[in-house]
């Protein structure tokens, strides 16, 4: 009997040890999961914040250029006026002559696909396979395919209306952003478009990825074969001004050096004719960005969508039609008249600010239907994002469109007797996300968008019951070989690299902020003060205390030697003024490249020395920098190393490429030129 008691006591002791061990393991695991989730969230936030700030800078730039068009000297207007010309060729017959492909010969050595029209499904599939095998379509066939696409798109309404009764399911895809491997994987898993397998592609086919033109040609070829079963919605990146910044223009000119300019010009026309939305069974609205409190599906069919070649700048007609009759909604819900604002020196927005937190919006009303409100209707469709709070406010994070809340969704669906909005426009880690009581579905089809393993892609299948069935994927096999920890670590390192570049670009502002926390000029800051100062400059809402150990390599008893920290980011061999100038240029390097490509009117990749001087005069106004004519001339002579009177844009931009994540370096030729007088 005693033995039994002894065994029972031993069992109880062992049980208590096991329970304590289990609790410790559980506690450790929960802490591990919490840390991993925190790393995942701030990594994601770094990527998204920097992406959106770039879009805001893009719109701000074109608002600035538009202001120059209206207010500055003829020389400035002549330099940039071509990007705002809405009707360079007026008649359709003139367009067809301008883009005639018949005089372009296909050499016998060409080994890519050959196309004949009308296009067949075999040719469309053959084109798909050719691009899978890294072949390129000849420019003659590209122009012919684009011309046929343009003719077809002109016949489509602004809003396509389709039904599931003719097919069992409709497949909807979100942003592809030039990532051909994602499109190929979708077709592999789901099948290519056909009469029994219709598709809706929801915009943003181009930019960022390296195969944008191939994606367009594949989608256009299937559109020509199945015009009633393939539907293409316009995205905010189907815009020739956005393409200047985010890579599509450069991609086309690189792949089609001889006829690239004609291809781009025709694509401008095609983008403006893409439909704005698709309605499925009168119940599901599919559009790229979103809605606002003024979105009205009864108004959209009356919009001349092809006249809105870009949403980054209002047309003169729209501004004139709404200059003195704009109506805004205040926080109390009342309305008040307002006049148009002055030059767009602030963050770009089509709305005038009021004293209230919710900014004025132009209401849809009969006397405004040919003015600003029509432009706003399209802007909201392409740029808006949902938010959790009720209401509708300007989307100042992106610089265009609005944020709309659950109440706006509820009101919109009720007014139009619908049940679901499917939109894209935002990268989601799982490839999709429901919000607003599952009445709004965000769909993103470009997997590994920020880096390998950063996110999944997804597409949706809708049957007659209109219940969305989501399929997720990742297009690279590398993600399947990585553990969750390895995947997060890889993405985190990539995000931190981008963040270090941003910190370098704001070095002067950061030093000023540090000195406010260091009145004794000791050169040291506490961790708390360092984190507060960095956030006051960067405005990224990141856990800087947590990131400290990964951003600062050395600390002294918890104190940050910020001068030593900045030495890691210093540009060696230059004086303080030069470093400040280089830092300013580096911070705005995307804007600098965009302006250069605007000035490069013939898309040759080169600009004349004279145009280079004019460009820098524009930059000096935009960046608020004091640059003399002598400084500009010295820099131009230094960069034009072969003295042929032209500047290689790519060569100049290469000078601002960061070679090391902790020690950004610059092209010695540029440094020398700047030290010699710039």
Q: Which residues are catalytic?
A: 237
Listed in sequence order, the residues at least 6 apart from 628 whose beta carbon sits closer than 8 Å to its beta carbon are: none
- DSSP characters over 97-125: HHT--TT----TT--S----SS--HHHHH
Cα dihedral 364→367→373→377 (10° resolution): 60
Q: How far apart are CA 169 and CA 614, in angstroms?
A: 55
Burial 477-489 (b: 16+ CB within 10 A, else e): eebeebeeeebbb
Tokens of 127: 């084109």
Alpha-carbon dihedral sign for residues 407, 412, 417, 420: negative
Determine contact, residues 474/456, Cβ cutoff 8 Å.
yes
Residue 444 is given by DSSP the state B
Alpha-carbon dihedral sign for residues 617, 619, 621, 627: negative
Instruction: Assign 3-class secondary structure to 358-411.
Output: CCCCCCCCHHHCCCHHHHHHHHHHHHCEECCCCCEEECCCCCCCEEECHHHHHH
Q: How far apart are CA 432 and CA 662, in angstroms?
A: 35
Q: How far apart are CA 281 and CA 162, in angstroms?
A: 6
Listed in sequence order, the residues at least 6 apart from 638 whose beta carbon sits closer than 8 Å to its beta carbon are: 669, 670, 672, 673, 676, 678
Short-list 189, 177, 192, 176, CA closest to 127: 192
Burial 433-447 (b: 16+ CB within 10 A, else e): eebbeebbbbbbbbb
Short-list 327, 304, 280, 291, CA closest to 415: 291
Listed in sequence order, the residues at least 6 apart from 190 whose beta carbon sits closer than 8 Å to its beta carbon are: 171, 197, 459, 461, 471
Instruction: Assign 3-class secondary structure to 501-517.
Output: HHHHHCHHHHHHHHHHH
Short-list 621, 532, 509, 241, CA closest to 399: 241
Short-list 640, 557, 638, 484, CA closest to 40: 484
Residue the block writes with tokens 């209230």: 356
Determine contact, residues 246/315, Cβ cutoff 8 Å.
no
């Amino acid at each position: 009997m005693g033995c039994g008691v002894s065994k029972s006591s031993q069992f109880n002791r062992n049980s208590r040890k096991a329970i304590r061990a289990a609790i410790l393991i559980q506690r450790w695991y929960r802490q591990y999961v919490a840390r991993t989730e925190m790393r995942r969230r701030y990594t994601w936030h770094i990527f998204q914040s920097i992406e959106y700030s770039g879009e805001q800078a893009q719109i701000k730039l074109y608002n600035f250029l538009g202001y120059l068009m209206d207010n500055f000297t003829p020389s400035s207007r002549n330099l940039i006026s071509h990007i705002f010309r809405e009707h360079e060729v007026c008649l359709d017959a003139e367009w067809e002559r301008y883009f005639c492909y018949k005089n372009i010969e296909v050499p016998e050595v060409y080994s890519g696909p050959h196309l004949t029209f009308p296009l067949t499904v075999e040719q469309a599939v053959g084109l798909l396979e050719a691009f899978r095998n890294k072949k390129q379509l000849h420019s003659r066939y590209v122009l012919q395919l684009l011309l046929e696409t343009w003719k077809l798109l002109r016949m489509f309404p602004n809003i396509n209306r389709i039904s599931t009764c003719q097919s069992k399911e409709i497949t909807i895809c979100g942003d592809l952003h030039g990532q051909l491997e994602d499109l190929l994987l979708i077709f592999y898993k789901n099948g290519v478009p056909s009469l029994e397998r219709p598709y809706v592609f929801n915009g943003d086919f181009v930019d960022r990825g390296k195969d944008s033109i191939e994606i367009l040609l594949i989608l256009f070829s299937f559109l020509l074969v199945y015009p009633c079963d393939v539907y293409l919605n316009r995205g905010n990146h189907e815009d020739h001004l956005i393409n200047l910044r985010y890579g599509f223009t450069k991609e086309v000119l690189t792949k089609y050096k001889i006829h690239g300019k004609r291809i781009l010009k025709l694509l401008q026309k095609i983008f403006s004719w893409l439909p704005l939305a698709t309605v499925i069974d009168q119940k599901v609205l599919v559009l790229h960005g979103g809605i606002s409190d003024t979105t009205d599906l009864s108004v959209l069919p009356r919009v001349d969508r092809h006249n809105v070649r870009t949403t980054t700048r209002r047309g003169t007609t729209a501004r004139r039609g709404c200059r003195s009759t704009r109506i805004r909604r205040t926080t109390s819900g009342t309305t008040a008249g307002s006049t148009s604002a002055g030059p767009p020196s602030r963050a770009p927005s089509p709305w005038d600010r009021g004293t209230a937190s919710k900014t004025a919006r132009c209401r849809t009303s009969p006397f405004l239907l040919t003015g600003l409100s029509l432009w706003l209707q399209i802007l909201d469709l392409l740029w808006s994002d949902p938010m959790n709070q009720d209401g509708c406010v300007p989307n100042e994070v992106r610089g265009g469109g609005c944020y709309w809340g659950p109440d706006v969704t509820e009101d919109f669906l009720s007014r139009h007797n619908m049940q679901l909005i499917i939109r894209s426009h935002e990268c989601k880690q799982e490839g999709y996300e429901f919000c607003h009581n599952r009445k709004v579905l965000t769909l993103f089809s470009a997997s590994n968008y920020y880096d390998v393993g950063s996110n999944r892609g997804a597409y949706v299948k809708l049957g007659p019951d209109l219940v969305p069935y989501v399929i997720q994927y990742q297009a690279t096999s590398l993600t399947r070989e990585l553990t969750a920890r390895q995947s997060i670590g890889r993405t985190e390192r990539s995000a931190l690299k981008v963040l270090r570049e941003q910190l370098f670009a704001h070095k002067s502002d950061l030093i000023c902020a540090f000195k406010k926390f260091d009145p004794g000029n000791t050169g040291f800051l506490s961790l708390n003060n360092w984190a507060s100062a960095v956030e006051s400059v960067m405005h990224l809402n990141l856990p800087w205390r947590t990131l400290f150990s990964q951003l600062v390599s050395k600390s002294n008893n918890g104190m940050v030697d910020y001068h030593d920290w900045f030495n890691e980011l210093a540009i060696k061999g230059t004086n303080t003024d030069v470093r400040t100038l280089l830092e300013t240029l580096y911070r705005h390097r995307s804007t600098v490249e965009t302006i250069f490509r605007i000035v490069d009117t013939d898309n040759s990749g080169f600009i004349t020395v004279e145009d280079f001087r004019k460009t820098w005069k524009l930059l000096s106004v935009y960046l608020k920098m004091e640059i003399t004519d002598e400084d500009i001339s010295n820099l131009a002579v230094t960069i034009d190393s072969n003295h042929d009177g032209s500047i290689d844009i790519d060569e100049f931009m290469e000078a601002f490429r960061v070679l090391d994540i902790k020690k950004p370096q610059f092209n010695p030729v540029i440094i020398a030129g700047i030290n010699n007088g710039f």
